[in-house]
Structure 1
Amino acid sequence: MKPIALTSLLASALLALPAVGRDDDHDRAREALKAGQVMPLRTVLERLEREHPGQVLDIEIEEEHGRLVYEVKLLQSDGRLVKLELDARTATVLRRQERGRRD
């Protein structure tokens, strides 16, 4: 993955946290990382590359049912679009949706 893409993904993930203002989003993401509530995005992306190969199209972090969840969209080499929901603390896959490739 290109460094600029990783930076863009990180910015997207940080800005996706629900909050009143953008500054609050960044602060909340940083505090969640410091408190051990989320795994660092770099670690999550490295694990995804090994376990679910594909091009990361989008990544967001949201709160669902009282816990933080990374939502990741991947495009696999065969053209399938995969959406994963990962526990943000452990990177455990909570849900996987897959769409076949379009010809």
Structure 2
Amino acid sequence: MFRPFLLCCGLLVSLTAAANPIELHHYQAKQLVAAGQILSLETTLAGLRELCPGELLDARLYSEDDRWRYDLQFALQHGQIIRLSLDASTGHPQTDIPQECDLDETATR
């Protein structure tokens, strides 16, 4: 009776852990960049700033379902703070670029 209970608990913990994104450390990110699995944050930001100029406040790298993503927090020129998720392998946004970025683009012309 007790053994099946432990087995179920272990399976539940494994499934829960697999479903949650895992945040990677700086040294792990450097290894992934060196191996060509992801773009560096610097390269990713260079492409992103063409779409959405602003100041980087926070950046985190996550692994989820064998995919890498950067979660970024930006302060736009007019003071608004936005969050973006980018595919760390390609640098492409995983969702639409917020409309607030368009406001920054027209304000700087």
Q: Is the structural similarity TM-score above 0.5?
A: yes
Question: Structure 1 or 2: larger strand share?
Answer: 1
The TM-score with structure 1 as length reference comes to: 0.63
Percent identity over the alignment? 30
How many residues are treated as equivalent by the alignment? Answer: 78
Counting only pairs closer than 5 Å after superposition, residues 1-103 of structure 1 correspond to structure 2 as 16-17=23-24, 25-95=25-95
Deviation sequence 1:5-49 (CA, Å, 0-9, x none):
xxxxxxxxxxx51xxxxxxx4442222112211101211121122
Where do 5+ consecutive residues of structure 1 fail to align? 1-15, 18-24
Take 2:75 and 2:27, find their aligned partners in 1: how far apart are those partners? 30
The TM-score with structure 2 as length reference comes to: 0.60
Where do 5+ consecutive residues of structure 2 fail to align? 1-22, 101-109
The root-mean-square deviation of aligned C-alpha atoms, in Å, is 2.3
Secondary structure at 1:92's aligned position in 2? Answer: coil
